[in-house]
Amino acid sequence: MKIVTFHPADGGRPHTGALLAATGEILDFVCEAADLPEAEHDLEWFDLAGPCLPAAEELHRAAVSEPSRLDALRRAGAVVPRASVRLCAPVPHPRKVICIGLNYKDHAAESGMDIPERPLVFSKFPTSVVGPGEFVELPPGSEQVDYEAELGVVIGREARRVSVSSAYDYVLGYMNVNDVSARDFQFADGQWQRGKSCDTFAPCGEYIATKDEIPDPQKLAIRFRLNGRTLQDSNTDQLIFSVPEIVSFLSQTVTLEPGDVIATGTPPGVGFARTPPVWVKSGDTMEVDIEGLGVLSNPVR
């Protein structure tokens, strides 16, 4: 299932649903005609152990396998054309956005740094999250804004001190993330929080592909394009720490919750490591393209 969050055509608060790729439509979980449990909080739609998501998965299975059920949902207004709505970040308001640095062998080599012995962890403030098509805003005072294509992991159930072997049980799915970074802030401050957490610096989307759609997240082509020019081109088989290793490591000291986002690191080709450096400018368009996860595109201003 491909989970999306979107602004309905009639306005109001964002709805959660599933992309029906075969028909170019969206199944609206929040529509009354879908007859699903009502979420008290938006993050309940990402909780594998709650009442909302399992019921939504069952409805999605029926919609894609039973044409008569899909037609009935369409007539009732629970299925809408994708073109009639605007997508948001799949998780618009995560509790946590956790990032892993230097997690690609080829990127560590590019940066002239040793392979880390354990995951290098930092965070982005949730206010940095924006969706596909939304502007990334260049912050005042920065002239060195960089891009980083990353595989994002979305947590699907509370995880505390879980083992590597059981870590996938706590994963909902995967999505594109762009870890935008103000390098001048990052390197001048001596720590990364401000340079990584500027407003709009965590574009995500377009959708979350649930883990049944991505058999092995460590075997995905990952690319970044700036104005159509490919600047990053690698594969997640270069990850130093795998998805289950990262989830297990984080959960030893931090309770992971449904809807939490983990950005797993970026491959080589980032702007600051190029000669001459390549910085993002107003008017640019950034694209993150990961196999099985579509394309995340964001303009810059």
Amino acid at 219: K
pLDDT at 225: 98
> Is 108's pLDDT higher than 90?
no
Query: For residue 242, what are its two tokens?
Result: 């795998």
Query: Do 79 and 110 reside in the same domain of the chain?
Result: no
Query: Do 60 and 103 reside in the same domain of the chain?
Result: no
The helix/strand count (H/E) of the chain reads as 6, 18
Residue at 154 is within a domain:
yes
> Is 179's pLDDT higher than 80?
yes
Question: Domain span at residue 167?
Answer: 97-299
Q: How far apart are CA 21 and CA 219, in angstroms?
A: 23
pLDDT at 184: 96
Query: Do 17 and 150 reside in the same domain of the chain?
Result: no
Specify the range with the lowest mean pLDDT, choosing from 7-11, 25-29, 155-159: 7-11
Query: Do 104 and 44 reside in the same domain of the chain?
Result: no
Domain boundary among 42, 62, 87: 87
Instruction: Work out the pLDDT band at 67, boundaries 50, 70, 90.
Output: very high
Query: Do 144 and 205 reside in the same domain of the chain?
Result: yes
Under a CB-based contact definition with an 8 Å cutoff, are residues 17 and 28 in contact? yes
> Is 254's pLDDT higher than 80?
yes
Q: Which distant-in-sequence residues (6+ apart) come within 8 Å of 212 by Cβ?
A: 1
Could you report the per-residue pLDDT of 17-56, keeping only the tens digit for each?
999 988 999 999 999 999 999 999 999 999 999 999 999 9
Percent of residues, the chain, with pLDDT higher than 90: 92
pLDDT at 105: 86
Could you report the per-residue pLDDT of 201-235, keeping only the tens digit for each?
999 999 999 999 999 999 999 999 999 999 999 99
| Helices 52-65/67-76 angle, 10° precision | 120
Residue at 140 is within a domain:
yes
Residue at 26 is within a domain:
yes
Domain boundary among 87, 113, 135: 87
> Is 82's pLDDT higher than 80?
yes
Domain boundary among 53, 87, 121: 87
Query: Do 259 and 126 reside in the same domain of the chain?
Result: yes
CATH for 226 = 3.90.850.10
pLDDT at 113: 75
Query: Do 70 and 119 reside in the same domain of the chain?
Result: no
pTM of the complete model: 0.96
pLDDT at 93: 96
Place of tokens 């009442």: 51
* 3 HSE (CA, 13 A, CB side): 34
Cross-strand partners of 18: 3, 27
Instruction: Work out the pLDDT band at 291, boundaries 50, 70, 90.
Output: very high
Q: Measuring CA to CA, which residue among 263, 294, 14, 297 is closest to residue 120? A: 263
Give 223-290 as a DSSP string. EEEETTEEEEEEEGGGBSS-HHHHHHHHHTTS-B-TT-EEE----S--GGGSSS-----TT-EEEEEE
- For the chain, what is the mean pLDDT? 96
Q: How far is CA 167 from CA 102, 204, 234, 244, 269, in A?
A: 21, 22, 25, 5, 30
Top pLDDT among 108 and 208 is at 208
pLDDT at 12: 81
Q: Which distant-in-sequence residues (6+ apart) come within 8 Å of 140 by Cβ?
A: none
Say if strands 181-182 and 145-146 run parallel, antiparallel, or are unpaired: antiparallel
Residue at 193 is within a domain:
yes
Query: For residue 137, what are its two tokens?
Result: 């805003």
pLDDT at 106: 78
